[in-house]
Amino acid sequence: MWIVFAFGSAVFAGLTAILSKIGIRNTDSNVATALRTIVVLIFSWLMVFIVGSHTMIPDISGYTLLFLVLSGLATGASWLCYFRALQLGDVNKVTPIDKSSTVLTMILAFIFLGEDITLIKAVAIVLIGAGTYLMIQKKEPEGQDTRRDKGNWLWLIYAAGAAVFASLTSILGKIGIQGIESNLGTAIRTIVVLIMAWIIVFVTKKQHTIRDIDARSMLFLVLSGFATGGSWLCYYRALQDGPASVVVPIDKMSIVLTIAFSSLFLKEKLNARSLAGLVMISAGTLSLLI
C-alpha cells in the first residue's frame, strides 16, 4: 500500500511545481513560500482531526519531537531555495536538480538508517546523476561572453541547496515519524516550516509586498499549497511503512509530470540532450522498483 501513497505523492508534487511557478511570477519567493505554508498547515491539521491522531499528541516523545522539528527546518530551507530557484530559472532545469536529492538520500539512508545499497541502487545512482548533469548542461554559442550570463546561473545554486535540504528532510523525517501517526508528524513539521518562512519574510522586510499580490497569483499559490499538502500526506504515509531509499525515488518521479506540464502550460521545451537526461533519470528511478 505504501507504493500507492508514494506514487500519489509524486503526482501532487508534479502539480506543485507548475502551480507554484505560475503563482510566484509576480510575487517575492519568500513571501510566496510563507503564504503557501499557511494553506499546507490548515490542510495537514484538518487531516489530523479527520483521522483522530490529535489524541496522540501527549504521547509524543522528546526524541521524536526533536527530529520532527529538525525535519521541519530542513523542509523550510529546501522550500525557500526551491521556490527562489523556480523564480529565477526554468522549471525543466530546476526540477531535475531538486529531484537529484534521490542520490544523496540513498547514500544518507545507507549511512544513518542502515538501508543496503544494492547493485541496482548503485546503477540507479549513476543513471540519475548522469541524467541530471545532461539536463542542466547547455552548450554556449561560440564567441558568447559567459561572464554576462553568470547571474543567470544563480538558480543553480538555489536548486542545489534545495536538493541537499530535501535529502536531509527525508532522513530526519523518516526517523521522526517512527512511533507517531504520519499525518500528525506532517502537521507538526508544518508548524516549524511556517514559523521559519515568516521569520525570513520579516527579516527581509518583504511583508509589505503581500498587498500587491494579484488575485491570479494568490489563487495559484493557494492551489499549490493544497497540492503540497496532498503530496506531503501521501509521502510521509509511504515513508512510514516503506524504505526511504525506495519511497524517495518514486516520489521524485514527479519530474516526468512536472516537465510534461511545463511544456504544455509554460511552453518550456526540451532539447535532445535534456530529453536523454530525463530518460536516464526516469530509468534510474524506475529500476529501484525491481
Quickly list DSSP for 140-151. PPTT--GGGGGG
* pLDDT(46) > 70: yes
What mean pLDDT, rounded, does the chain reach? Answer: 84
**pLDDT average, residue stretch 93-108:** 81
Write out pLDDT tens, residues 124-170.
889 888 888 887 755 444 444 444 445 567 888 999 999 999 899 88
Q: Which residues contact 262 (CB under 8 A, 6 or more apart)?
A: 17, 18, 21, 90, 91, 92, 95, 268
For residue 69, the model assigns a pLDDT of 93
Other residues' Cβ atoms within 10 Å of the Cβ of residue 202: 11
Give me the residue label for grid cell 522539528: 69
* pLDDT(2) > 70: yes
**Annotated domain spans of the chain:** 2-137+151-287
* pLDDT(248) > 80: no
- C-alpha cell recorded at residue 46: 484538518
**pLDDT average, residue stretch 110-115:** 82
CA separation for the pair 211, 232 (Å, rounded)? 29
